[in-house]
Amino acid sequence: MLLLSGCGEQYVQTTLAPKSDFGWMIQNLLILIVILAAIVFVVVEGVLIYAIFRFRGRPGAPLPNQVHGNTRLEIAWTIVPVVILVIIAVPTVQTIFAAAEVPTDAMNVRVVGRQWWWEVHYNDLNITSANELVVPVGQKVSIDLESADVIHSFWIPQMGGKRDVVPNHVNNLWFTPEKTGVYYGQCAEYCGTSHANMRFRLVVVTQDEFDNWVKTQQVPATPTTEEAKRGAEVFAQSACVGCHTIDGTAAKGTSGPNLSHVGSRKALAGGIMDNTPENMARWLKDPPGVKPGSLMPNLNLSDSDISALVAYLESLK
């Protein structure tokens, strides 16, 4: 009962509540195998328990009838497992091939694993983002996975499947999200100090919302308030520009996340915290304190510069 209580809630990273065709392929296999395994378990344990009680030694009982071999039984317990394994093998192999197929009718994105965040490129739309993949519901998405440093693993449990992200090699993962919502992902291969902080969000929206999102992302965002404009100056004069790109400005660095529309994202710092002004300030004050091993150093910014930077970055919608 204690173990079963773990199934009582819809956890955000559950693998048992698929929300995509790919997830269902795997779920259906799992259900088939669990049912077959349960039948085998009940039959084998049932016969075992029956034999233990029916044939147990009793005081004074004579020696049981001594037999050797039973051809019929032996044929049966060879054939039955073969049939069960075939029933499992056929759909399993079919699913492996279907899962490995690289679709041609899908929206293509490129996701690059980096220590410890994810870079997202919409090649056809000329959009670069980080730690967040926005896609329209019902649209098959094909993700080419690359690594800029070590081996990572890309995993959004509710979409199903998990793919290693390997340097100098492109792996592919596809799925069709079937329900709008925000789904949590996680790097699933140990990749260094902040492996656990290498998270990801999949944002599934309606086609209209997606079209609007694309339009906004393709135009450089500009700061409006005085504080945000001051933040833009602080940004331009600090080390930030060496690592980050902000469209429409002189910042063209590529070793850190593209911040052109960072204000529109749901999460910060490899997806570990919600994108709020408070969290942004916390992050800017001491990145390695928030994400151990972070390649973004502590720039020892003054509180006043941090508050201007927060205003600026949050205005980049």
Binding site for ligand CUA (CB under 6 A): 113, 116, 152, 187, 189-191, 195, 198
DSSP code at position 148: S
Report the DSSP beta bridge partners of residue 122: 127
Shortest Cβ 273–ligand CUA spacing (Å): 17
Rounded Cα distance between 172 and 66, Å, is: 60
The smaller minimum CB distance to ligand CUA, of residues 191 and 205, is found at 191
The secondary element (H helix, E strand) that includes residue 149 is none
The distance of closest approach from Cβ of residue 15 to ligand CUA in the complex, given in angstroms and rounded to an integer, is 18
113 vs 177, which CB is nearer to ligand CUA?
A: 113
Distance, in Å, from the CA atom of 270 to the CA atom of 104, rounded to the nearest integer, reads 30
User: With respect to ligand CUA, which residue has the nearer C-beta, 115 or 158?
Assistant: 115
What is the Cα–Cα distance from 54 to 293, expressed in whole angstroms?
A: 64
In the bound state with ligand CUA, the residue whose beta carbon lies nearer, of 234 and 269, is 269
Q: Minimum CB separation from ligand CUA for residue 103, in Å?
A: 25
Is residue 181 within a helix (H) or strand (E), and if so which, with residue range? strand 181-186
Nearer to ligand CUA, 36 or 151 (CB): 151
Per DSSP (E only), the strands in 127-187 are: 127-130, 132-136, 141-147, 152-154, 163-165, 171-175, 181-186
Q: What does each C-alpha distance from 216 to 43, 211, 219, 264 come to in angstroms?
A: 61, 9, 6, 10
CB-nearer residue toward ligand CUA: 181 or 293: 293
Measured from the CB atom, the residue of 150 and 243 that comes closer to ligand CUA is: 150
CB of 247 to ligand CUA, least distance (A): 27
Q: How many of the other CB atoms lie within 10 Å of CB of 24?
A: 16
User: In whole angstroms, how close is the CB of 16 to ligand CUA at the nearest point?
Assistant: 23
State the minimum distance, in angstroms, from the CB of residue 119 to ligand CUA: 12
Least distance to ligand CUA, CB of residue 131, Å: 12
Question: In whole angstroms, what is the distance from residue 115 CA to residue 127 CA?
Answer: 21
Residues in the chain: 317
* Omega of the bond leading into 116 within 30 degrees of 0 (cis): yes
